[in-house]
Structure 1
Amino acid sequence: MSEEPNALKTANTTAEEVFKWFNRIFDELAIVKEVAIVFLDKANDAVIVEENCIGISKSFVKQLYLFAYKLMLEVVKGKQCTFENEAAITSTRCVVLLCPDCCTAWNIRKDLMLMKYIIDYKQELNLTKLVLQKQPKSSESFSHRRWLLNQIFKVTPNSNMQPNSVLKMLLKKKKLNTLAVALKFKRFEWEIINNEMSVSHEAARMHPSNYTAWSHRVWVIDCLIFPSAIVSHKDSNVFVKSLHKELIDGLKWTEYNVSDYSCMSYLEHIVLCLVLAHFINPLNTSDVINLDDILTTALEHNSDLLRLYNGKHEALWVHRRAIFKIYHTVLHRLCSVEEPSYKDHRNVKLDLKEKFSFCTEEFFCKNIPKNCFCLRHLSTFKQRVYPR
């Protein structure tokens, strides 16, 4: 790379030449840290490279994209016979970097991977990461990441693995050993999972209320962490610790993003996962966190934020009702199941009864400055969470 110029001039340069130069640089770099559209001081600079980052001149983006898109369509239609697979790889890469919502390009890349023309899954994950740096809410990029994870771990999302489905099975008194067999699942590398959490966290940081990023995080929990947390084996407490860490990190996030309900919805999902893990695998789960601490921690953290902001953020009130609902519906319904192993859980429910009572909630609301959100919370609370 040291012998190559660090910029390509547009004077007398065709779109095809820029396209080839861009892809050659992309392939030669050991790792590309960023691909960005930039405003260049020199009007005739098309592409620049600096510290493993590639910059494309804004004035040249349209020509580059149109050339790559046309080439991609020619490959699909079979008109491009020379270096067909290479053209498909380079053209689709260029298209998704410049227009992440192009489903056709992502689907072609999936086909190329299935046909083994693209074999490096980590590089493909890095490509989607580069896209998310520019478009943190790109649903197609997150969808492609999930497809890649399914290919890597051979995971087929099973409805039995979803927390709500597991809850239904428990309420129907399904035998725990049958449930454990249904959810048994291969071990995987924590490095890739941690990378998924890091990428989704960065996407959420770059764009407020990023529902797409938090939904992707829920998928990772449901398909890769939660199933192994509830199956009894020697490493199950490691997965429970991961869920607990997600709870603590999520609570910290809400302190700086009090109007971001996307994160709070994710936290409710984590609380539900931990509660179910306690019922299914109580020994390993209790070593990490007690059942009463799960709900108490979430509720008290929410109370502190409401006091701090005088109840002026509706997302906090909606989140509060969701925590109460987990206690009054999930915990209450599970404790009503005639299962001898649930005796300790029924004691926990009784211990938390006063803290999650309607009278206690009324008293809490009286100490919050009256506003429309607080009044609406009490009204909705009576109707949906704690009907008399």
Structure 2
Amino acid sequence: MECGTRLLADLGRLLDSDPEIDELGFLLPSQLAQLHDLPADTVEISFAAADTDPSAGEGSKSPCVGAGAGEYCEASWFWLRDHKLGIAVNALRPLYTEAQAVFSALRAEEKQCERQENGFSKEESLLKVTRALLIVNSDYSTAWNTRKRVLGKSSFSQSGMISELRLSSLVLTYAPKSEEAWAHRRWALNKIFSSTSSQSDAIIDSESKHVDAIVERSLMNYRAWRHRFWLISFMKFPRIELELKSRDSYRCTDNCFFHYRRSMLQHLIWRQHEFDLSWKELASMWKEELKGNADSIKDMSFGNEALWIHRRFLAHGLLTYNELFDEFKVERSRDKEVHGKHVLFILNELDLAKEADTGEHSCSYKLWLLFVFRRKHDSKEVENLLLEESSAAAASTPQKESLWKGVKGSCNFLK
């Protein structure tokens, strides 16, 4: 029996023996030897033999202590304990090559059965071999789509969809940014949501915790946060409000996290009538988000672009939706009189930026705010502030002098 064939069979048996495997890793020979308490040199000799001649047979591999010639020892390739699976890195190539060959043969047989209008009876084999392929290659879209097609032909089985969620979770432990794995997960969840609504809240809670666990290990994971935002479409307003109010997982350096919060706020505006939300309630949420953002900016000892970009969105929303701004209460932070609520808001934002003074990012925010407002409202006071701030920005960040001069030129052009 060839090495790849045996590896494929053993991997399938291990996965079947423990359907609750929740973590996957690829191990070096020395790491595998430590886990199995094997002599490291015997394991490395076994790997070298497999790399030289993958079809050498069982007789060339006896890495385990007490194993004799002609015996095959699974410990040289796999490790499974406490629902954690480890696979030897040297096993990946022969394993993937064999799985790909079996997959191609099964697809060819399936197409032949379709041409001859005969029934194809090896769906289970297709599911097992695609599972092995995805364990090694998380972005193999053909394998993911084959699983969707095979499972879609049969009647709905919630246990089957739960198995798909477990498989995608296993893949995401080593490839947390795999777009194909996240897409397959949404497909399985859509099947579950369309079949039952009684357990949707529990499933959403579990899925949110799953995303939290992944983003803790994988920073700047846009795909994970977009998946969590996808769940918003199945949530009711109280749950979305809770998501916005919860700041236990506030990640000040993760722009993907702030994109998720921006998407939630925009989603509430889109579903305003569905949730029966007033502009006053939305303005209150906007105010809380601005306050939390301001507190984070003040707490940061260094400039953070993600926080200022998020604030741009919040300010742009207020300046774009007149109904939202009308219900927004602007606190007076200056003693002198100003003309208009919009001007007061601009001045308060400038005070925050000056207080934080995080260099380039705060300068950019001030100029962006003034420039946007200048395009919408013909105010001499704001125009003077724009010219004043562009001069101050050029002095504080000379490396961006050409940019600030361009702002001045744009201001003159708009006159």
Would you say same fold, with TM above 0.5? yes
Larger Cα-atom Rg? 2
Tell me how far apart the structure 2 counterparts of residues 100 and 271 of structure 1 sit (CA, whole Å): 32
* Contact kept in structure 2, 1:311 and 1:373, CA below 8 Å: no
Q: Which residue of 2 aligns with 1:177?
A: none
Tell me how far apart the structure 2 counterparts of residues 385 and 37 of structure 1 sit (CA, whole Å): 54
CA distance change for structure 1 residues 356 and 325 in 2, over 3 Å: closer, same or farther?
Answer: farther
CA distance change for structure 1 residues 350 and 74 in 2, over 3 Å: closer, same or farther?
Answer: same
| Corresponding position: 1:261 with 2:261 | no
CA distance change for structure 1 residues 22 and 83 in 2, over 3 Å: closer, same or farther?
Answer: farther
Match of 1:29 among 2, 11, 18: 18
Q: Which residue of 1 aligns with 2:303?
A: 312
CA distance change for structure 1 residues 370 and 49 in 2, over 3 Å: closer, same or farther?
Answer: closer
Match of 2:104 among 64, 73, 76: 73
Alignment of 1:110-121 (within 5 A): 110-116=148-154, 119=157, 120-121=160-161
| Corresponding position: 1:246 with 2:243 | yes
| Corresponding position: 1:109 with 2:88 | no
* Contact kept in structure 1, 2:354 and 2:362, CA below 8 Å: no
Q: Which residue of 2 aligns with 1:194?
A: 205
Identity %: 22
Q: For 1:60, give the aligned amino acid.
A: A
CA distance change for structure 1 residues 122 and 356 in 2, over 3 Å: closer, same or farther?
Answer: farther
Tell me how far apart the structure 1 counterparts of residues 373 and 197 of structure 2 sit (CA, whole Å): 38
Tell me how far apart the structure 2 counterparts of residues 123 and 152 of structure 1 sit (CA, whole Å): 12
CA deviation digits over 1:214-240, x for unaligned, max 9?
111122213x12xxxxxxxxxxxxx22
CA deviation digits over 1:73-96, x for unaligned, max 9?
111111899972232111100111
Q: Which residue of 2 aligns with 1:53?
A: 84
Q: Which residue of 1 aligns with 2:193?
A: 153
CA distance change for structure 1 residues 385 and 258 in 2, over 3 Å: closer, same or farther?
Answer: farther
Quote the offset at 1:292 in angstroms: 3.7
CA distance change for structure 1 residues 277 and 106 in 2, over 3 Å: closer, same or farther?
Answer: closer
Q: For 2:245, give the aligned amino acid.
A: I
Tell me how far apart the structure 2 counterparts of residues 347 and 115 of structure 1 sit (CA, whole Å): 54
* Contact kept in structure 1, 2:211 and 2:224, CA below 8 Å: yes
| Corresponding position: 1:325 with 2:313 | no
CA distance change for structure 1 residues 296 and 23 in 2, over 3 Å: closer, same or farther?
Answer: same
CA distance change for structure 1 residues 356 and 103 in 2, over 3 Å: closer, same or farther?
Answer: farther
Quote the offset at 1:370 in angstroms: 5.3
Match of 1:272 among 266, 271, 279: 266
- TM-score scaled by length of structure 1: 0.73
* Contact kept in structure 2, 1:85 and 1:117, CA below 8 Å: no
CA distance change for structure 1 residues 23 and 280 in 2, over 3 Å: closer, same or farther?
Answer: closer
Q: For 2:147, give the aligned amino acid.
A: R
Tell me how far apart the structure 1 counterparts of residues 327 and 98 of structure 2 sit (CA, whole Å): 64
Tell me how far apart the structure 2 counterparts of residues 386 and 195 of structure 1 sit (CA, whole Å): 47
Tell me how far apart the structure 2 counterparts of residues 103 and 15 of structure 1 sit (CA, whole Å): 22
Q: Which residue of 2 aligns with 1:376?
A: 364
Q: Which 10-residue stretch deviates more, 145-154 or 210-219?
A: 145-154
Quote the offset at 1:21 in angstroms: 1.8
- TM-score scaled by length of structure 2: 0.69
Q: For 2:370, give the aligned amino acid.
A: K
Structure 2 gap ranges (5+): 44-62, 64-75, 114-119, 332-340, 378-415
* Contact kept in structure 2, 1:324 and 1:385, CA below 8 Å: no
Match of 1:49, SS state, is: strand
Q: For 2:96, give the aligned amino acid.
A: Y
Q: Which residue of 2 aligns with 1:205?
A: 216
The runs of at least 4 aligned residues of structure 1 exceeding 6 Å deviation read 79-83
Quote the offset at 1:113 in angstroms: 0.5
Q: Which residue of 2 aligns with 1:236?
A: none
Q: Which residue of 1 aligns with 2:67?
A: none
* Contact kept in structure 1, 2:253 and 2:306, CA below 8 Å: yes
Match of 1:298 among 289, 299, 309: 289
Q: Which residue of 2 aligns with 1:358?
A: 346
CA distance change for structure 1 residues 296 and 78 in 2, over 3 Å: closer, same or farther?
Answer: same
